[in-house]
Structure 1
Amino acid sequence: MERPGFRGKVVLVLGASGGIGAALVHRLLASGAQVIAAARSPERLAMLAREVEESAQLLTCPVDVRDPQQVADLLSQVWERTGRIDLAIYCAGIEYLGPLKTIGSAELEEMMATNFYGLFFLLQQLLPLMEQQREKGTIVSVSSPMARLAFPWASAYAASKAAGDALLTGLRRECRRSGVRLLTIYPGPTATGAGQQLPPERLPRWHEHGQKMEAGRCAELLLRAVAAGQTQRALTRSLRLLFLLERWLPSLSERICAGMPV
């Protein structure tokens, strides 16, 4: 289905090599957008390009979001090529789960560097560029329900995503007159392969149980949320209910979250 709101737009997707990010690239190209797909793996980006038959509307850019200079070089390359960025979606993320004692320092550093620092570097360098545009752009952080609900065995991961949430909230207030939109979107359980790098004994049962939506469906709902322009949006009804419980019945929310099976 064509989405006129994205036709002709310049869209940057970070973390585009798989999962939700790759699904977003497919749907944005189908909508007529010009897409810059950025990710750490050149091989997976090449595979993505083959999947869309080397579309002329797709530019792939290997980048490590943990390196501020690589982020700066990416934005410079895109700006030189297009002269604007209408929409940037930050999907890059890494998830290490398990009891706190099992989270190694290298895992913690990788989560903070990917889930928070990369987002920080993008915002710090892209906001001034978008503020120069005649039509101001939109920056989207694809967060996680764990940033607000923090189930057992997800405490460190939750902290890394919550840091990104706080950054977006503060910047929305700081830049409220700039015209640039800053959105936080919570996908809910999605079949992306996240956590597959972990040994089975570190995967909580709540992570594997229950129905997960396909990445393509998640991308579809995410783009609808972007078009609607809500500053914060949970993509599933069950997740919205949990967020309401967290706000209005915190004691019940605490019992539900603490009782998730590990």
Structure 2
Amino acid sequence: MNTHHAPSSDRTVLITGGTSGMGLATAHRLLAAGTRVVITGRDDTRLAHAARQLDAGDRLLTVRADAALPADLVRLAETVRERYGKLDGVFANAGVASFQPLEAVTEAEFDRTVGVNLKGVLFTVRHTLPLLDAAGGGSVVLNASWTPHRGLPGAAVYAATKAAVLSLARTLGAELAGRGIRVNSVSPGYIVTEMFHAAIPDPADHEPIRAGVPLGRLGTAQDVAETVAFLLSERAAYITGQDLAIDGGLVPAFPSLTG
């Protein structure tokens, strides 16, 4: 029996940071495939707005939770357990951007960025493990970045946290394989989201960035959602401990000089 395109109505996936951008696009993609989805965010208003956009009725659960606070993640896991009893997949997507020259890095900004991008990711997986075990395994996807693969001035703290996420995918992929849990990461390139516009607000700066991408365009949140959906699915059943770049060739290739 070919199950690749079978309805996935018995599957439940958690997406942290699901109120916008890549998280919201992934929620749309999974809900369209029949998956139940849990999304988190730190703001009730944004969660309510996302729920209206997704319009999925009782197949969507929204939970206010701050990924940087392990107590929130414990409560999140308990809420999901009470509602669904298990999780088949986790997209640890919640993250914050942080770009400044080294001399401008403050301890508070370091702690904020590490708190969400590293601590939050690790404890998201830690506290959802019992739910994945209850499902007899599952798939975890961590949202990393292209920035650890190339030196980007002004990204010292951000890129370091994302390098740690790449390492987590390999380490946890090895550690959890015996429990039937696959762990992979994705490394998005320049993806046009709210975070992208906040980090690079001047449209005049977008063209030179696009020109540096071999495929000749900036990425979309849907590009990431399709890849995450694949890694969460049984189509990726023999893939673990890997990183998949979604960057239009930004890291491994030079753009054509002839157009």
TM norm structure 2:
0.83
Q: Is the aligned partner of 1:98 residue 2:100?
A: yes
Partners of 2:228 and 2:85 in 1: how far apart? 25
Percent identity over the alignment is 29
Secondary structure of 2:116's aligned partner: helix
1:212 corresponds in structure 2 to 218
Aligned residue-pair number: 240
Change (3 A) 1:3 1:216: farther
1:260 corresponds in structure 2 to none
1:224 corresponds in structure 2 to 230
Query: Contact 1:187 / 1:222 at 8 angstroms: preserved in 2?
Result: no
Q: Where do 5+ consecutive residues of structure 1 fail to align?
A: 243-252, 257-262
Change (3 A) 1:168 1:56: same
Q: Return the offset for 1:151.
A: 1.5
Q: Is the aligned partner of 1:234 residue 2:245?
A: yes
Query: Contact 1:96 / 1:103 at 8 angstroms: preserved in 2?
Result: no
What do residues 176-199 of structure 1 show as CA deviations (whole Å, max 9, x unaligned)?
312111111112221012255559
- The correspondence of residues 108-127 of structure 1 with structure 2, limited to 5 A, is 108-127=110-129
Aligned-residue RMSD, C-alpha:
2.7
Q: Where do 5+ consecutive residues of structure 2 fail to align?
A: 211-216
Q: Return the offset for 1:239.
A: 4.3
Secondary structure of 2:183's aligned partner: strand
Change (3 A) 1:109 1:207: farther
Change (3 A) 1:207 1:124: farther
- The correspondence of residues 94-243 of structure 1 with structure 2, limited to 5 A, is 94-133=96-135, 135-194=136-195, 196-197=197-198, 209-210=209-210, 211-227=217-233, 228-229=235-236, 230-231=239-240, 232=242, 233-239=244-250, 241=252
2:85 corresponds in structure 1 to 83
Secondary structure of 1:60's aligned partner: strand
Which one-letter code corresponds to 2:162 in the other structure?
Answer: K
TM norm structure 1:
0.82
Which one-letter code corresponds to 2:245 in the other structure?
Answer: A
Q: Return the offset for 1:237.
A: 4.9
Query: Contact 1:97 / 1:195 at 8 angstroms: preserved in 2?
Result: no
1:22 corresponds in structure 2 to 24
Which one-letter code corresponds to 2:81 in the other structure?
Answer: W
Change (3 A) 1:3 1:18: farther
Secondary structure of 2:195's aligned partner: coil
What do residues 109-149 of structure 1 show as CA deviations (whole Å, max 9, x unaligned)?
1110110001111122222442343x311111011011232
